[in-house]
Amino acid sequence: MAQNDSTRFNFKQLTPEEEHVIINKGTERPFSGKYYQHEEKGIYTCKRCGAHLYHSSDKFDAQCGWPSFDDEIEGAVKRQTDADGHRTEITCAQCGAHLGHVFLGEGFTQKNTRHCVNSISMEFIPDSAAHQ
C-alpha cells in the first residue's frame, strides 16, 4: 500500500486556515500574524515540514503587516515567478510550502531584500530551546 505525501514526508497536520495559505497559496490578513512583531531570538521553521528557514537576526520591521527577513538560511527557500506573473513567490525548498513573496530593491536594509512571509507558514524555535 502506497503512503500519501504527508505520511512519507512526515508533514504536520494543518488546520483549514493553514492549508489555505501553505497549500493553496493564500495570504493571511496583514498585521494579524503572531510573528509580525515577534522579536525573540531563534530560528523560524516551516510549519509544514519543520525545515529551518530564517534566523531571527535577519528579521526586520518593514511595517508591511507581515514578518520580513532580508536573508534566508542557505538553500532553505526556493524562488519562482508567482501565478500573477509579476511577483516572486517563495516556498520551502524541502516541501514546497507557500511562505509568501520576496521583493528586491526597496532599500529597507543593506541587503536590499525583503522576504514577506505569512506567520501562519512558520513555527519558531527560541534560541534557548535550540541549544538544549
What amino acid positions are annotated as catalytic residues?
A: 116
Burial of 99 (0-12, 13-18, 19+ CB in 10 A): buried
In angstroms, rounded to a whole number, what is the distance separating the alpha carbons of residues 16 and 2? 25
69-45-94 Cα angle (round to 5): 100
Q: Which residue in this structure is represented by grid cell 501562519?
A: 120
Cα 120–chain centre separation: 8
Q: Kindly report the number of other CB atoms within 10 A of residue 15's CB atom.
A: 10
